[in-house]
Structure 1
Amino acid sequence: MKIAVVASNGKASRAIIEELVARGHEVTAFARHENQSAAKHFVQKDILDLTKGDLAGFDAVVDGFGAFTPETLPLHTKTSQHLADLVAGTNTCLYIVGGAGSLYVDASHKVQLLDTPEFPAVFYALAKAQTEELAALRTRKDAKWVFVSPAADFRPDGEKTGAYILGGEELTLSTAGESIISYADYAVGMVDLIESGEHIGTRVSLVQK
């Protein structure tokens, strides 16, 4: 498959690119600064400067954008909506590296993880921004997208086991009763989703088995 990865220098993006390359996919990375990933094809360009022409012909686009300061948090929604505009009306599917805060903790889907007392206050603003990003994506019927939430404990340097559980809208726990996943195992799950072409227009979640 021909895959584009946007904001390709982030840790999650680099892990996804490594997995894509290992499986023999043709990967083009897009980033503001020089290439730090395993992708052989690279375009140095800001995410908001990308055009329909830049993303034409790809089977999938992975959005690994991340922002963490108060003034940049709204860019989560702005950038993913821009990418959705670029793939709208095409067969190219947009895969978003999402957050866990928007996952529901009850079967009635009334309470989200970020609104529970246990949720770390330091991550609330980021979780809220990504929750708003997901809400905006849900309104899009003109573009193919999949929002992929990691487990609550998303570990950059965790080991790669190759085993994970694919969940949906609710917080899913491992067989040990934990919500943990490494970037490497998240990448395995993300690439599996891309290869399957399933779950279009939905949010899914990944947790270690």
Structure 2
Amino acid sequence: MKIAVICANGKAGKRIVKEAVSRGLDVTAVVRGENQTVAQKVLKKDLFDLTAADLKGFDVVIDAFGTWTEDTLPQHSTSLKHLCDILSGTNIRLLVVGGAGSLYVNPEHTAVVSDGADFPPQFLPLAKAQGKALSELRQRGDVKWTFISPAGDFRADGERTGKYILGGEELTLNSRGESIISYEDYAIAMIDEATNGDNIQKRISVVRE
């Protein structure tokens, strides 16, 4: 299996590359600068400059793009649109590192995590930007996408437990009532989905067991 990880130098990207390489997959790190991952193959190019020819031949493309500043938040939508446009009509699967703010908190799917009174206000613009990108992604019937939301507490320095619960559109809690997952365990779930998953045109979520 050939996998491209876009924005591979990021916190999530590095761990996803490491997990994929550890399983013996053929991994290409797509980076703007020098490769900081364990991938042996590198495509040095900006996400927005990628072409259909660049991604031809891959089985799975993992989008680990992330940005947090106010002026760049719209790029969550524009970057995803660009990737969808160049993958349109192909069999290449697009797996997206998503956010937890857009997960539903009721069975009617009318309220999301970021609507909550206790949602940290500093993360609200990011959650809204990622939620908008997901809404737009849902309109793409021409791309084999999967949007993977982490748990609410997404820990860059969290431990690798090797265990997780696969959820759906709603915020899922573990047996201790927690919504938490480490970047390490998220990477496991991502590569599991890349190799075994069939959640085409669906949003799924993961939480530590």
TM-score of the pair, normalised by structure 1: 0.99
TM superposition shift of 1:28: 0.5
How far residue 175 of structure 1 moved from its aligned partner, in angstroms, is 1.1
* Secondary structure, aligned partner of 1:89: coil
Measure the CA separation in 1 of the matches of 2:83 and 2:60.
Answer: 11
The code of the aligned residue for 2:206 comes to L
> CA RMSD for the aligned pairs?
0.6
Runs of 4+ in 1 over 3 A off after TM superposition: none
* Alignment of 1:42 onto 2:42: yes
Q: CA deviation at 1:74?
A: 0.3
> Counterpart in 2 of 1:33?
33
- Matches of 1:176 and 1:40, distance apart in 2: 40
Alignment deviations for residues 152-195 of structure 1 (CA, whole Å, 9 cap, x no partner): 00000111011000000000001110000000000000111111
Which stretches in structure 2 are left out of the alignment for 5+ residues?
Answer: none
Is residue 203 of structure 1 aligned with residue 203 of structure 2?
yes
Aligned twin of 1:143: 143
Q: Distance in 2 between matches of 1:85 and 1:39?
A: 26
1-structure distance, mates of 2:202, 2:118: 26
The residue number in structure 1 matching 2:125 is: 125
For 1:95 and 1:113, locate their aligned partners in 2 and report how far apart those are by CA, in whole Å.
Answer: 22
1:155 aligns with 155
Q: Tell me which residue corresponds to 2:111.
A: 111
Aligned-pair distance for 1:84? 0.9
Q: Could you say what secondary structure the match of 1:78 adopts?
A: helix
The code of the aligned residue for 1:54 comes to D
Q: Aligned partners of 2:97 and 2:130: how far apart in 1?
A: 10
> Could you tell me how far apart the structure 1 residues matched to 2:22 and 2:93 are?
21
The alpha-carbon deviation at position 81 of structure 1 amounts to 1.1
Secondary structure (helix, strand or coil) at the match of 1:81 reads: helix
CA distance in 2, matches of 1:168, 1:7: 25
For 1:5, the aligned partner's letter is V
The offset of 1:122, in angstroms, is 0.5
Provide the secondary structure at the position in 2 that maps to 1:38. coil
Give the drift of 1:73. 0.2
How many aligned positions are there? Answer: 209
In 2, the alpha carbon distance for the partners of 1:195 and 1:73 equals 30
Distance (Å, rounded) in 2 between the aligned partners of 1:146 and 1:48: 20
Give the CA deviation at 1:57.
0.6
SS of 2:13 mapped into structure 1: helix
SS at match of 1:99: coil
CA displacement 1:85-104 (0-9 Å, x = unmatched): 11111110000000000000
Q: Map of 1:164-179 to 2, 5 A cutoff?
A: 164-179=164-179
Stretches of structure 1 that go unaligned for 5 or more consecutive residues are none
